[in-house]
Amino acid sequence: MIRAATITLFLLAAAPAMAAPGGAMWTVPQGRWTCELPGDATTPPLPQPDNNFSIVPDSSYVVGGVRGTYLLLGNTFTMTSGPFAGRRFDKVGLSLIKLGPDGRREALRCVRAGAVRDDDSAGYAYSADGAAPAE
């Protein structure tokens, strides 16, 4: 009896944890993300530089030198603190499509445009070895 109970407890402890209600937790690639409104066959996309951000280590992003955090559950990317706190996006392939307050997709899309170390506008410097930001 004790042996059966011990084996059962061992098997239960070894079972995988269940996923969070919103889906698996992920991260997005680090780097500069530029945002734009889509064009059409005759016009190019319209850049929206006020919406650009950089993804940096530790599930964080930077806008104008101010750091915030994000959470990616399943395909829903949410900026949880910082200058863009509350903004939500739908991750579609390599793009992020902005979600409105009602959860519907809006026109704004953001795509990764380069590495963080190439981004002078972020105001957040990282050394080549990934060390903490320079003070």
82-123 pLDDT, tens digit each: 999 999 999 999 999 999 999 999 999 999 998 866 544 445
Query: Chain centroid to CA 18: how far?
Result: 22
Amino acid at 105: R
Lowest mean pLDDT among 33-42, 85-94, 123-132: 123-132
75 touches 88 (CB < 8 A): no
- Sequential DSSP letters for 51-88: G-EEEETTTEEEETTEEEEEEEETTEEEE-SSTTTT-E
pLDDT at 36: 98
Residue 32, pLDDT above cutoff 70: yes
Residue 31, pLDDT above cutoff 90: yes
Q: What is the spatial distance between Cα 108 and Cα 38, in angstroms, rounded to a whole number?
A: 7
Share of the chain above pLDDT 90, in %: 65
Sign of the four-CA dihedral 62, 63, 67, 72: negative
Q: Where are the domains of the chain?
A: 22-118
Q: Which of 26, 12, 121, 7 is nearest to 71 (CA)?
A: 26
Tokens 């016009």 correspond to 43
Q: Which of 73, 87, 74 is nearest to 33 (CA)?
A: 87
77 touches 62 (CB < 8 A): no
Domain 22-118 has CATH 2.30.30: no
Residue 15, pLDDT above cutoff 50: no
